[in-house]
Amino acid sequence: MDESVLTDHPRGVAKERHSSGWGKKFAPYLLSLPAGVWLVLLFIVPLFILLVQSLETCSPATGACVMTWSWGELPHQVNLYHQQFVTSLIFAAFATIIDLVISFPIAYWIAFYGGRRKNFFLIMLLVPFFVSFIIRTIVWEFILSNNGFILTFLRTQHLVPSGFHVLGTSYAVIAGLAYNYLPFTALPLYVAIERIDRRVLDAAYDLYANRREAFLRVILPLSMPGIFAAFLLTFIPAFGDYVNQEILGGTANTMVGTVIQNSFLVNFDYAGGASLSVVLLAVALLGIWLYARLLGTSTINEYL
Protein backbone atom coordinates (compact mmCIF):
# COMPACT_ATOMS: atom_id res chain seq x y z
CA MET A 1 0.00 0.00 0.00
CA ASP A 2 1.46 3.33 -1.00
CA GLU A 3 1.58 5.42 2.09
CA SER A 4 1.42 8.81 0.44
CA VAL A 5 -2.09 8.04 -0.77
CA LEU A 6 -3.23 7.69 2.80
CA THR A 7 -1.52 10.57 4.45
CA ASP A 8 -1.57 13.24 1.77
CA HIS A 9 -4.80 15.07 1.85
CA PRO A 10 -6.05 16.28 -1.51
CA ARG A 11 -7.08 19.64 -0.10
CA GLY A 12 -3.87 21.19 1.11
CA VAL A 13 -5.67 23.99 2.94
CA ALA A 14 -7.72 21.75 5.17
CA LYS A 15 -4.68 19.67 6.00
CA GLU A 16 -2.74 22.76 6.95
CA ARG A 17 -5.47 23.95 9.28
CA HIS A 18 -5.60 20.73 11.23
CA SER A 19 -1.95 19.92 11.42
CA SER A 20 -0.82 23.25 12.82
CA GLY A 21 -1.85 22.66 16.43
CA TRP A 22 0.45 21.74 19.28
CA GLY A 23 -1.38 18.49 19.87
CA LYS A 24 -0.94 17.37 16.28
CA LYS A 25 2.79 17.44 16.63
CA PHE A 26 2.68 14.96 19.46
CA ALA A 27 -0.31 12.98 18.22
CA PRO A 28 1.65 10.04 16.77
CA TYR A 29 3.65 9.71 19.98
CA LEU A 30 0.61 10.00 22.22
CA LEU A 31 -1.26 7.40 20.17
CA SER A 32 1.61 4.93 20.28
CA LEU A 33 2.65 5.65 23.86
CA PRO A 34 0.46 3.08 25.72
CA ALA A 35 1.27 0.20 23.38
CA GLY A 36 4.89 1.33 23.17
CA VAL A 37 5.34 1.41 26.94
CA TRP A 38 3.68 -2.00 27.27
CA LEU A 39 5.93 -3.54 24.62
CA VAL A 40 9.11 -1.93 25.95
CA LEU A 41 8.46 -2.97 29.56
CA LEU A 42 7.15 -6.47 28.86
CA PHE A 43 8.89 -7.44 25.64
CA ILE A 44 12.14 -5.50 25.14
CA VAL A 45 13.25 -5.13 28.78
CA PRO A 46 12.67 -8.85 29.54
CA LEU A 47 14.83 -9.78 26.57
CA PHE A 48 17.65 -7.71 28.06
CA ILE A 49 17.10 -9.33 31.44
CA LEU A 50 17.43 -12.67 29.66
CA LEU A 51 20.70 -11.51 28.16
CA VAL A 52 21.97 -10.41 31.58
CA GLN A 53 20.88 -13.69 33.16
CA SER A 54 22.84 -15.61 30.59
CA LEU A 55 25.97 -13.91 31.94
CA GLU A 56 25.39 -15.28 35.41
CA THR A 57 26.62 -18.54 36.78
CA CYS A 58 24.32 -20.70 38.84
CA SER A 59 25.32 -23.27 41.37
CA PRO A 60 23.59 -26.55 40.58
CA ALA A 61 23.53 -27.49 44.25
CA THR A 62 21.87 -24.43 45.77
CA GLY A 63 20.30 -22.89 42.69
CA ALA A 64 21.74 -19.51 43.66
CA CYS A 65 22.95 -17.40 40.73
CA VAL A 66 25.86 -14.98 40.81
CA MET A 67 26.62 -12.40 38.18
CA THR A 68 29.96 -13.34 36.70
CA TRP A 69 29.82 -11.29 33.48
CA SER A 70 31.12 -14.28 31.62
CA TRP A 71 29.90 -15.72 28.38
CA GLY A 72 31.11 -19.06 29.66
CA GLU A 73 27.63 -20.45 30.23
CA LEU A 74 26.72 -19.95 26.58
CA PRO A 75 29.22 -22.28 24.88
CA HIS A 76 28.90 -24.62 27.83
CA GLN A 77 25.16 -24.98 27.30
CA VAL A 78 25.48 -25.19 23.52
CA ASN A 79 28.08 -27.89 23.99
CA LEU A 80 25.83 -29.76 26.37
CA TYR A 81 22.73 -29.54 24.24
CA HIS A 82 24.00 -29.25 20.67
CA GLN A 83 22.17 -32.49 19.84
CA GLN A 84 18.84 -30.87 20.80
CA PHE A 85 19.71 -27.82 18.70
CA VAL A 86 20.42 -29.98 15.68
CA THR A 87 17.19 -31.93 16.21
CA SER A 88 15.17 -28.71 16.49
CA LEU A 89 16.84 -27.34 13.38
CA ILE A 90 16.09 -30.45 11.32
CA PHE A 91 12.50 -30.80 12.53
CA ALA A 92 11.72 -27.12 12.01
CA ALA A 93 13.38 -27.07 8.58
CA PHE A 94 11.44 -30.11 7.36
CA ALA A 95 8.16 -28.77 8.74
CA THR A 96 8.73 -25.37 7.13
CA ILE A 97 9.57 -26.84 3.72
CA ILE A 98 6.52 -29.13 3.86
CA ASP A 99 4.35 -26.15 4.80
CA LEU A 100 5.71 -24.02 1.96
CA VAL A 101 5.03 -26.78 -0.55
CA ILE A 102 1.55 -27.53 0.81
CA SER A 103 0.40 -23.94 1.12
CA PHE A 104 1.75 -22.35 -2.03
CA PRO A 105 -0.90 -23.84 -4.36
CA ILE A 106 -3.78 -23.07 -2.01
CA ALA A 107 -2.54 -19.52 -1.40
CA TYR A 108 -2.24 -19.12 -5.17
CA TRP A 109 -5.74 -20.49 -5.72
CA ILE A 110 -7.36 -18.26 -3.10
CA ALA A 111 -5.51 -15.18 -4.35
CA PHE A 112 -6.27 -15.72 -8.04
CA TYR A 113 -9.51 -17.68 -8.07
CA GLY A 114 -11.02 -17.00 -4.63
CA GLY A 115 -13.31 -14.29 -6.00
CA ARG A 116 -15.95 -13.16 -3.56
CA ARG A 117 -15.30 -16.09 -1.25
CA LYS A 118 -11.72 -15.03 -0.44
CA ASN A 119 -12.56 -14.16 3.15
CA PHE A 120 -14.32 -17.47 3.64
CA PHE A 121 -11.27 -19.40 2.47
CA LEU A 122 -8.94 -17.29 4.61
CA ILE A 123 -11.06 -18.14 7.66
CA MET A 124 -10.85 -21.81 6.66
CA LEU A 125 -7.05 -21.50 6.71
CA LEU A 126 -7.29 -20.06 10.21
CA VAL A 127 -9.70 -22.72 11.46
CA PRO A 128 -7.06 -24.62 13.50
CA PHE A 129 -6.51 -21.48 15.59
CA PHE A 130 -10.00 -21.78 16.99
CA VAL A 131 -9.02 -24.98 18.74
CA SER A 132 -6.40 -24.77 21.44
CA PHE A 133 -2.89 -25.56 20.24
CA ILE A 134 -2.53 -28.20 22.98
CA ILE A 135 -5.81 -29.90 22.07
CA ARG A 136 -4.91 -29.92 18.37
CA THR A 137 -1.70 -31.71 19.18
CA ILE A 138 -3.41 -34.17 21.55
CA VAL A 139 -5.96 -34.98 18.84
CA TRP A 140 -3.09 -35.78 16.46
CA GLU A 141 -1.76 -38.08 19.17
CA PHE A 142 -5.15 -39.82 19.08
CA ILE A 143 -5.24 -40.02 15.32
CA LEU A 144 -1.72 -41.38 15.00
CA SER A 145 -1.79 -43.71 18.00
CA ASN A 146 -1.50 -47.46 17.58
CA ASN A 147 -5.08 -47.95 18.76
CA GLY A 148 -6.38 -45.02 16.71
CA PHE A 149 -8.80 -45.69 13.89
CA ILE A 150 -6.35 -45.04 11.06
CA LEU A 151 -3.62 -47.45 12.16
CA THR A 152 -6.20 -50.00 13.31
CA PHE A 153 -7.77 -49.88 9.87
CA LEU A 154 -4.43 -50.12 8.08
CA ARG A 155 -3.39 -53.06 10.25
CA THR A 156 -6.61 -55.00 9.82
CA GLN A 157 -6.37 -54.50 6.05
CA HIS A 158 -2.76 -55.74 6.25
CA LEU A 159 -1.57 -52.60 4.53
CA VAL A 160 1.11 -52.13 7.18
CA PRO A 161 3.01 -54.68 9.27
CA SER A 162 1.63 -55.33 12.77
CA GLY A 163 4.58 -53.64 14.44
CA PHE A 164 4.12 -50.42 12.46
CA HIS A 165 3.79 -47.24 14.51
CA VAL A 166 3.95 -43.52 13.89
CA LEU A 167 3.75 -42.08 17.38
CA GLY A 168 7.11 -41.63 19.04
CA THR A 169 8.95 -41.14 15.76
CA SER A 170 10.49 -38.05 14.18
CA TYR A 171 7.86 -38.26 11.43
CA ALA A 172 5.07 -37.71 13.94
CA VAL A 173 6.81 -34.63 15.35
CA ILE A 174 7.41 -33.14 11.90
CA ALA A 175 3.81 -33.86 10.91
CA GLY A 176 2.54 -32.18 14.07
CA LEU A 177 4.75 -29.12 13.54
CA ALA A 178 3.71 -28.90 9.89
CA TYR A 179 0.04 -29.04 10.82
CA ASN A 180 0.25 -26.52 13.66
CA TYR A 181 2.22 -23.89 11.74
CA LEU A 182 0.58 -24.24 8.32
CA PRO A 183 -1.56 -21.07 8.67
CA PHE A 184 1.58 -19.05 9.48
CA THR A 185 2.96 -20.10 6.11
CA ALA A 186 -0.18 -19.84 4.03
CA LEU A 187 -1.20 -16.30 5.03
CA PRO A 188 1.99 -14.40 4.09
CA LEU A 189 2.12 -16.40 0.84
CA TYR A 190 -1.46 -15.39 0.13
CA VAL A 191 -0.68 -11.72 0.76
CA ALA A 192 2.31 -11.88 -1.59
CA ILE A 193 0.50 -13.66 -4.42
CA GLU A 194 -2.57 -11.47 -4.04
CA ARG A 195 -0.33 -8.46 -4.74
CA ILE A 196 0.95 -9.76 -8.06
CA ASP A 197 -0.40 -7.61 -10.85
CA ARG A 198 -2.23 -9.94 -13.23
CA ARG A 199 -1.26 -7.76 -16.16
CA VAL A 200 2.34 -8.80 -15.65
CA LEU A 201 1.24 -12.42 -15.89
CA ASP A 202 -0.87 -11.71 -18.97
CA ALA A 203 2.10 -9.96 -20.51
CA ALA A 204 4.20 -13.07 -19.95
CA TYR A 205 1.58 -15.18 -21.72
CA ASP A 206 1.36 -12.65 -24.54
CA LEU A 207 5.09 -13.02 -24.95
CA TYR A 208 4.59 -16.77 -25.43
CA ALA A 209 5.57 -17.95 -22.00
CA ASN A 210 4.11 -21.33 -21.17
CA ARG A 211 2.61 -22.05 -17.76
CA ARG A 212 5.86 -23.37 -16.36
CA GLU A 213 7.86 -20.36 -17.49
CA ALA A 214 5.21 -17.93 -16.31
CA PHE A 215 5.28 -19.60 -12.92
CA LEU A 216 9.06 -19.82 -12.61
CA ARG A 217 9.87 -16.41 -14.06
CA VAL A 218 6.93 -14.25 -12.97
CA ILE A 219 4.95 -15.67 -10.06
CA LEU A 220 7.78 -17.23 -8.10
CA PRO A 221 10.14 -14.21 -8.18
CA LEU A 222 7.31 -11.80 -7.37
CA SER A 223 6.18 -13.86 -4.39
CA MET A 224 9.72 -14.16 -3.02
CA PRO A 225 9.25 -11.60 -0.19
CA GLY A 226 6.16 -13.54 0.90
CA ILE A 227 7.99 -16.85 0.75
CA PHE A 228 10.75 -15.44 2.93
CA ALA A 229 8.25 -13.94 5.39
CA ALA A 230 6.38 -17.26 5.49
CA PHE A 231 9.66 -19.05 6.08
CA LEU A 232 10.54 -16.83 9.05
CA LEU A 233 7.06 -16.91 10.59
CA THR A 234 7.02 -20.71 10.39
CA PHE A 235 10.60 -21.70 10.99
CA ILE A 236 11.30 -19.50 14.02
CA PRO A 237 8.27 -20.61 16.09
CA ALA A 238 8.71 -24.24 15.01
CA PHE A 239 12.38 -24.10 16.04
CA GLY A 240 11.39 -23.05 19.56
CA ASP A 241 8.41 -25.41 19.78
CA TYR A 242 8.56 -28.35 22.13
CA VAL A 243 4.93 -29.28 22.67
CA ASN A 244 4.70 -31.31 19.47
CA GLN A 245 7.82 -33.23 20.37
CA GLU A 246 6.67 -33.90 23.94
CA ILE A 247 3.22 -35.11 22.93
CA LEU A 248 3.96 -36.83 19.61
CA GLY A 249 7.64 -37.65 19.77
CA GLY A 250 7.95 -39.71 22.92
CA THR A 251 11.16 -39.73 24.87
CA ALA A 252 13.69 -39.65 22.05
CA ASN A 253 14.70 -36.67 19.91
CA THR A 254 14.17 -33.96 22.51
CA MET A 255 14.05 -30.43 21.13
CA VAL A 256 15.81 -27.43 22.62
CA GLY A 257 12.52 -25.96 23.87
CA THR A 258 12.11 -28.82 26.32
CA VAL A 259 15.58 -28.15 27.71
CA ILE A 260 14.80 -24.44 28.15
CA GLN A 261 11.49 -25.17 29.82
CA ASN A 262 13.09 -27.67 32.19
CA SER A 263 15.96 -25.29 33.00
CA PHE A 264 13.52 -22.59 34.04
CA LEU A 265 10.61 -24.50 35.54
CA VAL A 266 12.11 -27.76 36.80
CA ASN A 267 15.82 -27.30 37.52
CA PHE A 268 15.73 -23.55 38.26
CA ASP A 269 18.94 -23.16 36.29
CA TYR A 270 18.10 -19.66 35.07
CA ALA A 271 21.54 -18.94 33.67
CA GLY A 272 21.51 -22.12 31.61
CA GLY A 273 17.97 -21.60 30.36
CA ALA A 274 18.67 -17.96 29.60
CA SER A 275 21.81 -18.88 27.62
CA LEU A 276 19.88 -21.32 25.45
CA SER A 277 17.09 -18.75 24.98
CA VAL A 278 19.64 -16.16 23.89
CA VAL A 279 20.92 -18.57 21.24
CA LEU A 280 17.35 -19.16 20.06
CA LEU A 281 16.71 -15.43 19.96
CA ALA A 282 19.96 -14.90 18.04
CA VAL A 283 18.76 -17.35 15.39
CA ALA A 284 15.48 -15.43 15.12
CA LEU A 285 17.23 -12.06 14.90
CA LEU A 286 19.63 -13.37 12.30
CA GLY A 287 16.70 -14.44 10.13
CA ILE A 288 14.96 -11.08 10.49
CA TRP A 289 18.20 -9.21 9.84
CA LEU A 290 18.79 -11.22 6.68
CA TYR A 291 15.26 -10.46 5.56
CA ALA A 292 15.69 -6.73 6.13
CA ARG A 293 19.07 -6.85 4.40
CA LEU A 294 17.87 -8.67 1.32
CA LEU A 295 14.40 -7.24 0.87
CA GLY A 296 14.38 -3.95 2.77
CA THR A 297 12.86 -3.05 6.13
CA SER A 298 9.67 -1.68 4.64
CA THR A 299 8.88 -5.02 3.03
CA ILE A 300 8.86 -6.70 6.43
CA ASN A 301 5.64 -5.23 7.71
CA GLU A 302 3.86 -5.59 4.40
CA TYR A 303 3.74 -9.33 4.84
CA LEU A 304 2.46 -9.54 8.35
Q: For residues 67-106, which are near other proteins according to CB under 8 A?
A: 102-103, 105-106
Which of 169, 149, 151 lies closest to 161 in space, CA to CA? 151
The verdict on 260 binding other proteins (CB under 8 A) reads yes
Q: Which of residues 262-281 bind other proteins (CB under 8 A)?
A: 264-265, 270, 273-274, 277, 280-281
Nearer to other proteins, 71 or 289 (CB): 289
Is 65 in a helix, a strand, or coil? strand
Neighbours of 193 (CB within 10 A): 20
Applying CB under 8 A, among 16, 31, 59, 64 the residue interacting with other proteins is 31
The verdict on 145 binding other proteins (CB under 8 A) reads yes
State the minimum distance, in angstroms, from the CB of residue 13 to other proteins: 10
Applying CB under 8 A, among 71, 129, 153, 164 the residue interacting with other proteins is 129
CA-CA distance, 148 to 132, in Å (whole number)? 21
Applying CB under 8 A, among 97, 170, 171, 237 the residue interacting with other proteins is 237
Phi/psi for 66 (5° steps) reads -120, 140
State the minimum distance, in angstroms, from the CB of residue 143 to other proteins: 6
Q: Which of residues 176-235 bind other proteins (CB under 8 A)?
A: 179, 182-184, 187-188, 190-191, 194, 198, 201-202, 205, 211, 214, 232-233
Q: Helix/strand/coil (H, E, C) string of 116-166?
A: HHHHHHHHHHHHHHHCCHHHHHHHHHHHHCCCCHHHHHHHHCCCCCCCCCC
The verdict on 254 binding other proteins (CB under 8 A) reads no
State the minimum distance, in angstroms, from the CB of residue 46 to other proteins: 4
State the minimum distance, in angstroms, from the CB of residue 61 to other proteins: 19
CA-CA distance, 249 to 234, in Å (whole number)? 19
Give the angle 222-235-214 at the CA atoms, nearest 5°: 20
State the minimum distance, in angstroms, from the CB of residue 105 to other proteins: 6
- Decide: 103 and 230 in contact? Cβ < 8 Å: yes
The verdict on 45 binding other proteins (CB under 8 A) reads yes
Nearer to other proteins, 253 or 263 (CB): 263
Applying CB under 8 A, among 124, 160, 200, 252 the residue interacting with other proteins is 124
Q: What is the DSSP letter of 58?
A: E
Provide the residue type at 174 as one letter: I
H or E segment at 52?
helix 45-53
The verdict on 46 binding other proteins (CB under 8 A) reads yes
